[in-house]
Amino acid sequence: MNRIILIAACVIAISSCAPSRYVRPLDEGQKAITGNLGGPLIKFSGMTIPLPLTAISLGYGLKDDLTIYGGMHTTALSFGVIQGELGVVKEFVKPDSLNKFKPGFSMSYTTNLLVDTWEKNFKFWPQVDANLYWNYNLNRNDYFYIGVSNWFELSGFRAHDEPQLNHWIFNPQAGIVFDQPNWSYNIEAKYLATNYSNQNIVVDYAKPWGENGGLGIYLSISKKF
């Protein structure tokens, strides 16, 4: 059943299949284009591999503390599933520029939109993220963050009119951003679907923390201009 597990995982592991878009907003008027690679770790043919999911996104700093963004998931697209996202991130607390231990705080809202080109089935899922972040080196713009990403399933039913029991998918996350004037690089780890069992499902996720959730690893690179 290995192949079926891989293909199922490739496209259906959509939940939380991208890192946080912007933890710290862009400067006012600044634009950024970002590419990212990564996804949940799955077991396949005796190995543990991250799903090679890719996405690109574009962000624009409306204000110093407010950035809007949109993105497209290119792996899903190559399989005929148009997966886009539109979102906004707001910085509520700036990190202390004199004290590296005092974090900043931001929240983002994202609408995840999916439609397949085969049967035109359309779905959307709201997502709310919250992150604390620290400028751990006051001489640079790099920062470390921890936070939570929450996906919400609004549908009351799933296939065959069975009741939908999974309405809130909770994903704690941590990452580090190496921020340079024109480029930034990000690595992020997510504990995916912490609040759900990973047992008896068709996808054989790697299970570093027992019978709940899975681990996702993501790399991003951004060009700012």
Partner 1 sequence: MRFLFITIVLFSLSSCFRLDSFMYNSDSTITEYKLDDFDDEQDFILDDSYDIPEDKIQLFTLSVGVENHEIYCLYIGNQNTINTDTVIFYNHGNKDHMDFYWQRAKLLAHTGGKMRYGVMMIDYKGYGLSGGQSSESGLVEDTKEALSWLYNQGLRSDRLIIYGFSLGTCPAITIAGDATSVLVPARLITEAPFASTDVMAADGGLLDMPGSYYTSDRFENAEYIKDVEQPFLWIHGTADDFLSIKTHGEVVYKNYDGVYSQAERVIGAGHSTVPQTIGFVEYNKLLESFITKKI
**Residue 206, interface with partner 1 (CB under 8 A)?**
no
- Inter-residue contact 183 to 224 (CB < 8 Å): yes
| CA dist., res. 188 & res. 37, Å (int) | 11
Rg (CA), the chain: 18
Q: Which residues contact 3 (CB under 8 A, 6 or more apart)?
A: none
Q: Which residues contact 55 (CB under 8 A, 6 or more apart)?
A: 17, 18, 35, 36, 71, 72, 73, 74, 75
Place of tokens 């520029």: 97
Among 41, 89, 169, 177, binds partner 1 (CB under 8 A): 169
Q: Which amino acid is at 36?
A: N
**Residue 119, interface with partner 1 (CB under 8 A)?**
yes
Helix (H, G, I), strand (E, B) or coil at 15: coil
**Residue 118, interface with partner 1 (CB under 8 A)?**
yes
Among 123, 172, 194, 217, binds partner 1 (CB under 8 A): 123
What mask, x for binding partner 1 by CB under 8 A, covers residues 3 to 42?
xx-xxxxxxxxxx-----------------x---------
Segment lying near partner 1 (by CB under 8 A), choices 69-77, 130-138, 141-149, 183-191: 69-77
With 0-12 / 13-18 / 19 or more C-beta atoms within 10 angstroms meaning exposed / middle / buried, residue 104 is buried
Segment lying near partner 1 (by CB under 8 A), choices 86-94, 100-108, 177-185, 200-208: 200-208
Among 22, 143, 196, 218, binds partner 1 (CB under 8 A): 196
| CA dist., res. 159 & res. 147, Å (int) | 32
**Residue 99, interface with partner 1 (CB under 8 A)?**
no
**Residue 151, interface with partner 1 (CB under 8 A)?**
yes
**Residue 153, interface with partner 1 (CB under 8 A)?**
yes
- Residue 201 DSSP one-character state: S
- Residue 205 DSSP one-character state: B
**Residue 211, interface with partner 1 (CB under 8 A)?**
no
**Residue 72, interface with partner 1 (CB under 8 A)?**
yes
Q: Which residues lie near partner 1 (CB under 8 A)?
A: 1-4, 6-15, 33, 56, 58, 72, 74, 76-82, 114, 116-119, 121, 123, 125, 151, 153, 155, 157-160, 162, 164, 166, 169, 193, 196, 199-203
